[in-house]
Structure 1
Amino acid sequence: MVSYELDFFGHVRNMNEQALQSYLATEDARLSFENTLISEVAMLWLTMATDNVQLALQREILKTQEESFRMIEESYRLGAASRFDYEQARTTVSAARAGIIKYVRAVAIDRNALDLLCGDKVAENLIPTELPEVLTQKAFLPDGLPGEVILNRPDIRMAERGLKAAAANIGVARAAFFPV
């Protein structure tokens, strides 16, 4: 048996509009999540690159501090340096070693977080060891960029479509007051 429903008061039309806007808002939420994930991975990759650069720098500092300590230790042994100089040099070597431990830990945390965000272990050749030259330059938005650009953001579109879905839902509720 075939049946039809006349839509005098817009009940079906508003239900269709509400369903469409809800679907589109869900799709925009997916795009927004995707953009957020990409952004998080990029930021973490840059953090890891920075921590690797800091680790390499800290290793160079340790090497320099150890050479300096050896010279001061020899001077102290020969009586040319004071006990204070000797202890100060020993302390700077210890501080440099602590700095290395700090950055080794930071790189390990970055690596684990990157693996987690990517959903699998990231290949070694994709792990940054230094900051690329292009990333050390400042980026500027061009002058005169129209304000409508913000309307293309998925999170903004999702909110807008959520409002449209709510408005259509009001139409459904309003039509429910009228006889079928």
Structure 2
Amino acid sequence: MLLDFIAGNWNDALTVLTAGVAAYTAYHQIQYYRAQQASLNIISIDEPTYEPRAQNAYGDIVPTNEIDETELRDTKYSLEVVLENDGREPTTLSEFTLSLPDTEEELFLYNDRTRTGWQRSFVEFEGNERKQLNLFNSGEVRDTYGQDVEAILCLDSTADVIEQPVMLRCSV
């Protein structure tokens, strides 16, 4: 009689067991997915430079190789940053700043050039996405040029705030 019952209902028992294993696996997969929050990482910082700029005869501010303090208008800072979102959740990078401890200057960096000038726009990262950003701005005229300058790059995103020391090289 027991053998007849098992022979008649083995398919139902197997279905219930399979559904239980599937539910258990799905629960743990969802927990694993939720645990992978957005995590923005700096992969590399390339070509961190600064250069003096002067005003030319047409009134445009252009890079210069001649360091005459009376002619200099400002200093341009630029760097290329490769960032990656390691998590599965999307994140948005909203603010880029470069702090120069030696001059106590803090520059909000721009990442886009338009016809009307420079602008700062939000950068969205999907899950597991990598992007390269060209960041730049101009600051005050420096006392000396030619030496490497220590700075701190700060990136503010919805996931976290990243601070990375950077050594800027003079391009003159």
TM-score, normalised via structure 1 length = 0.31
Give the number of the structure whose residues are more often helix, by fraction.
1
Give the number of the structure whose residues are more often strand, by fraction.
2
